[in-house]
Amino acid sequence: MSRTRTALLAALALVAGASGTALAVTPGDVGLAAVPCAVDYKVQNQWDTGFTAAVTITNNTAAKSSWSLKWSYAGNQKVTNFWNSKISQSGTAVTAANESYNGTLATGGSVSFGFQGTYSGTNALPTTFTLDGVTCNVDGGTGPTDPGPTDPGTPGTRVDNPYAGAKVYVNPEWSANAAAEPGGSRVSNQPTGVWLDRIASINGTGGKMGLRAHLDEALKQKGSGELVVQLVIYDLPGRDCSALASNGELGPTEIDKYKTQYIDPIAAILADPKYASLRIVDTVELDSLPNLVTNVTPRPTATANCDTMKANGNYVKGVGYALNKLGDAANVYNYVDAGHHGWLGWDDNFSATVQTIKQAATAEGATVNDVQGFITNTANYSALKEQNFTINDSVNGKSVRESKWVDWNRYVDELSYAQAFRQEAVNQGFPSGVGMLIDTSRNGWGGSARPTGPGAMTDVDTYVNGGKLDRRIHVGNWCNQSGAGLGERPKASPAAGIDAYVWIKPPGESDGSSSAIANDEGKGFDRMCDPTYTGNPRNNNNMSGALANAPLSGHWFSAQFQELMKNAYPAL
């Protein structure tokens, strides 16, 4: 079943003729036993003087505890920045070595890293790669490189980072809503999550596409390359026990219905061989497990509903069951919700949340190997990177941690929190290769209100409030926030330990209604979505900061979409 070398080279020539900016060097489908290692090198973006590249290594020999990949350029390319590896360069020769967290490379396992470089003239691709001295992409690891077509993975084999070298599915329903807005065509081609937020959504309801319809459309978008489909698994019994706007259809005790009528049908569809060539990312049960840490007795933020869900164990059982069943398909990647820094960044929340997630990841037949990563900031607004102050700053002898905004949190933005969360998960027994996703759909905070530098050094509050990019009234505010903007566009491997920036929450879809609206979707009215609400202990009794005239959660909110575009950062 191996292609001949002639056929492989012919395929490469055809690809090269079609695109001079993005090309993979892979082993095609030659036998794994004959190819000791495979390297997929893709130029993701290229401009006049620079480029970004993604590299995936697959090891087909004995497991490794560390690795070193070498290649040489034919031109004058220079690596200037890198992530998920340590890169050094001498002349045209480049060496990429593992970071401390991704040195383990199992037999059949993969690892991905990325970098940015400069060039002039032509940006010719390297032709030979060696992993620990062994030549990759060729039978036996010796002789000239045997390049193949652009297929960095065999269907049914998980890669280290599903986003590396892949397009991401554009939901045509969201895209149509965005394109119908004035100026919306600027972002309507961006990939967003498909929310399976009730049983009826699996087959489609209210004229909307069901799961199979989305996957069939994804196959059309895929073409000959790799494509990621992002699904939101979101229908736990007693869902969102600390909120009302996103309460679900299942009661606290309906765990069997969750398993048999929700997870089992989804798992059956994902296991269909028809979809084996897709990379399917499941973001699993948002805003669930962290509630069992922060919103239960004796915390002042406790709710009776969260106490019930902790007592009956159905959040842990439900997430464990979902991870086990959905993870059976080798092309499915499970990312578990990890809240956001403004919820879980305090010492008494941080490690305890990882412990709770691990409890779920080892329940109902699941193991930690069913978790490919975690996702933070989903449907939230926390700034990706606070540029005007750090957690280590002080003013007049007072740490920024003492400011009212930071309030003794150890993190001030999502990137630092996500990277620390990943490390804590590894420390507690999750695989060393787990990655992080950060939802950047609404955390841009651009526009005229965006600070251009640090605040005045008068006192610690003036300093933080004057410079912080996140313009919310309080970090606990979460519903349809006024002044928010689109954040970083979706991209793969943007920083160390981060698999991708994603838009899981589709911009323009409401977080909840501003006033009570009768509905058959199980969605209640949460005062945090009411702009006149003066708050509760979870936002330290501040105003909600919500936009007025919002529809039910998940429904299109034109005024919000327009504001998100106006305040986008980077600007549209």
Hey, which residues does 64 pair with through a beta bridge?
Answer: 105
Q: With H, G, I as helix, E, B as strand and everything else as coil, classify residue 59.
A: strand
Query: Is 511 considered catalytic here?
Result: yes
Distances (CA, A) of 160 to 40, 110, 138, 223: 12, 5, 21, 22
CB neighbour list of residue 40: distance below 8 Å, 6 or more residues apart: 24, 25, 26, 54, 55, 56, 58, 152, 153, 164, 165
Residues 109, 471: Cα–Cα separation, whole Å: 42
Cis omega (within 30 of 0) for bond into 570: yes
Report the largest interatomic distance among the alpha carbons of the chain, rounded to a whole angstrom. 72
CA atoms within 13 A on the CB side of 200: 10
Active-site entry in 240, 511, 526, 530? 511
Closest to 319 measured CA to CA, from 282, 350, 351: 282
Residues 176, 536: Cα–Cα separation, whole Å: 37
Q: How far is CA 188 from the centre of its chain?
A: 19
Q: At 135, which amino acid appears?
A: T
Distances (CA, A) of 219 to 49, 150, 226: 34, 16, 10
Active-site entry in 146, 240, 282, 287? 287
CB neighbour list of residue 409: distance below 8 Å, 6 or more residues apart: 341, 342, 345, 346, 401, 475
Say if CB 220 and CB 159 are below 8 A apart. no
Residues 144, 126: Cα–Cα separation, whole Å: 12
CB neighbour list of residue 218: distance below 8 Å, 6 or more residues apart: 169, 227, 229, 275, 278
Hey, which residues does 495 pair with through a beta bridge?
Answer: 498
DSSP class of 543? -
Tokens of residue 26, six digits: 């892979």
Residues 28, 26: Cα–Cα separation, whole Å: 6
Query: Is 256 considered catalytic here?
Result: no
- Do strands 332-337 and 68-72 pair parallel, antiparallel, or not at all (unpaired)? unpaired
Residues 437, 500: Cα–Cα separation, whole Å: 5
Kindly report the backbone phi and psi dihedral angles of residue 227, in degrees, each rounded to the nearest multiple of 5, phi listed first.
-145, 135
Let me know how long the chain is. Answer: 572
Tokens of residue 126, six digits: 């390297």
For 533-571, b where at least 16 C-beta lie within 10 A, e where not — what string? bebbebbeebbbbbbeebbbbbbbbeebbebbbbbbbee
Tokens of residue 17, six digits: 């003729």
- Do strands 86-90 and 166-168 pair parallel, antiparallel, or not at all (unpaired)? unpaired
DSSP class of 260? I
Helix segments in 272-395, DSSP class H: 291-294, 304-312, 314-326, 341-344, 347-361
Active site residues: 287, 511
